[in-house]
Structure 1
Amino acid sequence: MSPRGLFLTFEGIDGSGKSTQARRLAESLEAAGYDVVLTREPGGSPGAEEIRRLVLEGDPDRWSAETEILLFTAARRDHLERTIEPALNAGKIVICDRFADSTRMYQGLSRGDLRALVDQLHGLMIGREPDLTLLIDMDPEIGLSRAKGRQGTEERFEDFGPALQKRMRSGFLALADEFKNRFRVIDGNRDVDSVAVDVRETVLKVLR
């Protein structure tokens, strides 16, 4: 862990359980005496939360992939300025539910070959990667069933159906192979407690 803190992200398909694992990890680390900030994307700052409602609600075809990339990047920039960087500069552990890797997948891969555009905007406007990324790997059919079972209003991406989830799982695993130094793949096809133990041990190895 560097003097300016540790930037940790969770990634995975919809319904993979990453949000639950992010919360449980934050609680576990706080109980162990660490100073933790738990946040999410899109969102994590007032301006970014406003953009969240624009991109996660409504018809699946509400935005083009190019427009989504701009919206997600704008939200991420505000999140970085107002939440992530101040916490890291104060030496805190930042745990973020999704970050740029999700944009690389959902906008850069799912609706056209736009990965290069995502990376270009990321380099210009964000300019940093997490110190550690935990990919909660989940069977796409199970994940989609879990996600739809939540019956919330933020289901725009779930409404693209199982084909998207299968592509996203393959894409995330390829991304983990591309960025071997910062990715750790956790088997999410198990009970929540077993996954949480693996997550905690993985992070503690880095902190030690």
Structure 2
Amino acid sequence: MTLAGKFIVIEGLEGAGKSSAIESIGECLRRNGIGFVNTREPGGTAMAEQLRDMIKHGFEGEMPSTASEVLMMYAARCQLVEQVIRPSLKQGDWVIGDRHDLSSRAYQGGGRGIALQELDTIRQFAIGNFEPDLTVYLDIDPSLGLSRARSRGSLDRIEQQQLDFFERARVVYLDAVASNPKVVKVDASLDMRAVQEQIITEVQTFIDQN
């Protein structure tokens, strides 16, 4: 019988280095002989990618309201979970996710100010109790992260939020680290090699325990 796979998610503010972290996790899984697929949120299916574009850039000049934004986020997440993540896990593949539900709690909850209880209601309807087996949170001071993000080029609608938006989001992330043993923190302000070493250590420990 094929054993179920595991779902590992990378979380963090803009400029935290999620892309490099995902590469490090993939390399760690390969070294352990573990097959995996990569996903991203919002996105990851044809429908979810269309929603991603509307969330980040609007549609024909029309920008989503706060309520529309969070509903589109969960619509995209529901599609990804049902069409990609659950089937992959069921057949024994591991899944590396670029963001998941904690992003909504941080960005739409902390950043936008939507009550977490309201997000919990939407989440329960959209994906139920589905959650990652491990979340690696890349912690970085928002001002440093935004500076890094700006150096990459133009910013999307969410990346253009004010500094206090990301400061509020960071508080939610840190609360999750403190309250959820499945969420581990990595200091993303260090140089890339040091960050990669932290990530690989956390993931290898998780693999060894599973």
The TM-score normalised by the length of structure 1 is 0.92
Q: Secondary structure at the match of 1:193?
A: helix
Deviation, structure 1 residue 114: 2.5
Q: Is the 8 A contact 1:9 1:132 kept in 2?
A: yes
Match of 1:75 in 2: 76
Match of 1:165 in 2: 166
Alignment of 1:30-41 (within 5 A): 30-41=30-41
Deviation, structure 1 residue 58: 4.4
Partners of 1:104 and 1:170 in 2: how far apart?
A: 10
The CA deviation string for residues 8-59 of structure 1, in whole angstroms up to 9 with x for no partner, is 1111111111222012211332244210111110011111111110001249
Partners of 1:6 and 1:69 in 2: how far apart?
A: 26
> Which sections of structure 1, spanning at least 5 residues, go unmatched?
none
Q: Is the 8 A contact 2:24 2:199 kept in 1?
A: no
Match of 1:139 in 2: 141
Q: Is the 8 A contact 2:136 2:184 kept in 1?
A: yes
RMSD: 1.9
Partners of 2:137 and 2:151 in 1: how far apart?
A: 22
Partners of 1:68 and 1:107 in 2: how far apart?
A: 8
Partners of 2:110 and 2:28 in 1: how far apart?
A: 34
> Which sections of structure 2, spanning at least 5 residues, go unmatched?
none
Number of corresponding residues: 205
Runs of at least 4 residues off by over 6 Å: none
Q: Is the 8 A contact 2:9 2:135 kept in 1?
A: yes
Alignment of 1:50-199 (within 5 A): 50-58=50-58, 62-127=63-128, 128-152=130-154, 155-179=156-180, 181-199=181-199
Match of 2:6 in 1: 6
Partners of 2:87 and 2:127 in 1: how far apart?
A: 14
Identity of aligned residues (%): 34
The one-letter code matched in structure 1 to 2:142 is P
